[in-house]
Amino acid sequence: MAYLVFLLLLPWPAIAAAAQPLQNLSPLTAEEQRGQQIFEKGRSARGSKIEASLPGGVRVPASAVPCAGCHGIDGLGRPEGGIVPANVTWDALTKPYGHVRPDGRTRVPYTDRTLRRAVTMGFDASGNELSSVMPRFQLTMRDAADLIAYLKKLGETVDPGLTASTVRLGVLLPREQTVKNKQLVRQAMLHYFASVNGAGGVFGRAIETSFTELPSDTARQSAAILDFLHDQHVFAVLGDFTGAEPEIAAVMLKTATPAIAAIAPSPQTDSPLNRYVFYLDGGVTEQRNASDLKSADQRNWERATAAAEIITEAMTRAGRALTRGGLVQALEGFSNVQTSLPAPVSFGPNRRVGISGVQASALDPSNPAMGGRL
Ligand code: HEC
């Protein structure tokens, strides 16, 4: 217990730094872990019953409407059907200059007390009533303390693959292609990241890469990706998703791992939006046409390089305090970003296809194949 209190008294960055070498152990204290269970599952680790009141006074177990269901596992909030669940990371809740809601209303920073009131009674830090979409939760004082301890940690957790001096990216190599083709994707990535590292890395972090190739047996793919992420401590993934698009997307969502598909004939863009996976372009049509125009070699090289450029730019925009959530937000801010491909790349909160409607690899208007398309 004394040790616990000692940990809680440390300033947060000290805890984060201390947690870094222990990445496969949980960096969370017991209290924070109990809070995490409430946040993600709606269940109290202390055995108390947590109830939520919904609009109209309907009461349901909190496990039916856990915080993460609306605010996201990372707490950043994702707009859905016109409703914007707030960003509930500690940073956002306590910004010293207050916070402007999408509707323009402002509030002062939260304290532990006003945060408990928001969750249990539905008033924000300035006393404004929150939308009834945000359930009111019946929490014991101890459950509330656990939850708040975890909210303080949200957004501060050290993500896998990240240290003060390195960031590790996982690269999926093309399957069922020639050895030369695999080498090209590998070389394109190594070549680009070597130049970034040569110029000092991203905020002093050197980019490291781990390469893998998925098994062709679909049934084994999900487990293979999970093993790869776990064994290699990968911060984010990029590469060739061909033939395993749904499996890869599901694992990325489950593990909250950002990913950039350089090559993916079947992007998974159905609703609900998978926050974590970004596709270079719209897939099949683009690639089939492009293959008329360029050799597969050249295409793979260009796309691998573009994916490397995109993730480097996003990490740069996410800043020194890089997190997976921050990386996703930075990608969502891409508007007409130039890469070495001819067409610019744009993403958004509801957009996961970077180059849409046009071909990623071949925008050469002098090419006869373009005539029928544009
Ligand atoms: C059914 C969806 C839903 C669930 C579940 C939910 N919230 Fe919310 N929450 C919202 C919405 C929507 C808002 C924005 C309300 C508004 O702006 O009036 C919100 C607002 C908040 C705010 C206020 C943020 C601010 O900037 O003022 C906090 C804090 C919060 N939620 C925490 C939680 C916690 C903690 C849980 C779980 C115990 C939770 N929410 C569960 C939808 C949800």
Same domain, 124 and 239: no
Residues 327-336 have pLDDT tens digits of 999 999 999 9
Out of 50-54, 182-186, 222-226, least confident range: 182-186
Q: Which atom of ligand 1 is nearest to the CA of 115?
A: 29
Please give the residue range of the domain that contains residue 310: 166-371
C-alpha–C-alpha distance, residues 107 and 97, integer Å? 9
Q: Which atom of ligand 1 is nearest to the CA of 62?
A: 38
Residue 1 domain-assigned? Answer: no
The predicted structure's pLDDT at residue 193: 97
> Nearest CA to 315 among 195, 199, 169?
169
The predicted structure's pLDDT at residue 83: 72
The last residue of a domain, from among 91, 124, 153: 153
Q: Which two tokens stand for residue 326?
A: 């921050």
> Domain count of the chain?
2
The predicted structure's pLDDT at residue 365: 41
The predicted structure's pLDDT at residue 179: 76
Q: How far is CA 94 from CA 71, 78, 183, in A?
A: 16, 19, 48
Ligand 1 and 54: CB distance under 6 A: no
Residue 338 domain-assigned? Answer: yes
Residues 177-209 have pLDDT tens digits of 677 778 889 999 999 999 999 999 998 899 999
- Confidence check: pLDDT of 47 > 50: yes
Q: Which residues share a beta bridge with 123? A: 129
Q: Which atom of ligand 1 is nearest to the CA of 65?
A: 5
C-alpha–C-alpha distance, residues 62 and 44, integer Å? 9
The predicted structure's pLDDT at residue 358: 52
Highest mean pLDDT among 116-120, 216-220, 321-325 belongs to: 116-120
The predicted structure's pLDDT at residue 333: 94
Percent of the chain with pLDDT over 70: 80
Same domain, 148 and 171: no
Residue 210 domain-assigned? Answer: yes
Q: What's the rounded mean pLDDT across residues 73-93? A: 78
DSSP string for 225-288: HHHHHHHHT-SEEEEE-TT-HHHHHHHHHHHT--EEEEE-SS---PSSP-TTEEEEE--HHHHH
Which secondary-structure segment (H or E) carries 106?
Answer: strand 106-107
Q: Check residues 292 and 233 and name the one with the higher pLDDT.
A: 233
Mean pLDDT of the chain: 83
> Nearest CA to 32 among 14, 15, 17, 49?
15
Q: Which two tokens stand for residue 369?
A: 């194949």
Q: What's the rounded mean pLDDT across residues 77-98? A: 77
Residues 6+ apart with CB under 8 A from 45: 33, 34, 37, 38, 146
Same domain, 182 and 147: no
The last residue of a domain, from among 125, 153, 181: 153
Residue 291 domain-assigned? Answer: yes
Ligand 1 and 149: CB distance under 6 A: no
Residue 2 domain-assigned? Answer: no
> Nearest CA to 196 among 236, 215, 223, 169?
169
Same domain, 318 and 202: yes
Q: What's the rounded mean pLDDT across residues 238-253? A: 94
Same domain, 178 and 226: yes
- Confidence check: pLDDT of 153 > 50: yes
Same domain, 199 and 344: yes
Work out the pLDDT band at 9, boundaries 50, 70, 90.
very low
CATH of the domain at 221: 3.40.50.2300
Residue 321 domain-assigned? Answer: yes
The predicted structure's pLDDT at residue 64: 96
Work out the pLDDT band at 12, boundaries 50, 70, 90.
very low
Ligand 1 and 293: CB distance under 6 A: no
The residue contributing the CA closest to ligand 1 atom 2 is 70
- Confidence check: pLDDT of 80 > 70: no
- Confidence check: pLDDT of 150 > 60: yes
Same domain, 75 and 214: no
The predicted structure's pLDDT at residue 157: 61
The last residue of a domain, from among 94, 128, 153: 153
Q: Which residues share a beta bridge with 238? A: 171, 260
Same domain, 58 and 112: yes
122 and 287 in contact (C-beta within 8 Å)? Answer: no
The predicted structure's pLDDT at residue 78: 63
Work out the pLDDT band at 27, boundaries 50, 70, 90.
low
Same domain, 148 and 68: yes
Same domain, 129 and 265: no
Separation of first and last alpha carbons in the chain: 68
C-alpha–C-alpha distance, residues 233 and 212, integer Å? 13
Work out the pLDDT band at 10, boundaries 50, 70, 90.
very low
Same domain, 82 and 213: no
- SS3 assignment, position 90: helix
The predicted structure's pLDDT at residue 292: 53
Q: Which residues share a beta bridge with 168? A: 208
Q: Which residues share a beta bridge with 240? A: 263
169 and 209 in contact (C-beta within 8 Å)? Answer: yes
β-strand pairing of 166-172 with 136-138? unpaired
How many angstroms separate the alpha carbon of residue 71 from the centre of ligand 1? Answer: 7
Residue 26 domain-assigned? Answer: yes
Same domain, 141 and 190: no
- Confidence check: pLDDT of 265 > 80: yes
Ligand 1 and 101: CB distance under 6 A: yes
- Confidence check: pLDDT of 43 > 50: yes
Residue 8 domain-assigned? Answer: no
Ligand 1 test: best mutation among 58, 70, 76, most atoms within 8 Å of CB? 70
- Confidence check: pLDDT of 7 > 50: no
CATH of the domain at 83: 1.10.760
How many angstroms separate the alpha carbon of residue 366 from the centre of ligand 1? Answer: 53
Q: What's the rounded mean pLDDT across residues 86-115? A: 83
Highest mean pLDDT among 7-16, 104-113, 169-178, 327-336 belongs to: 327-336
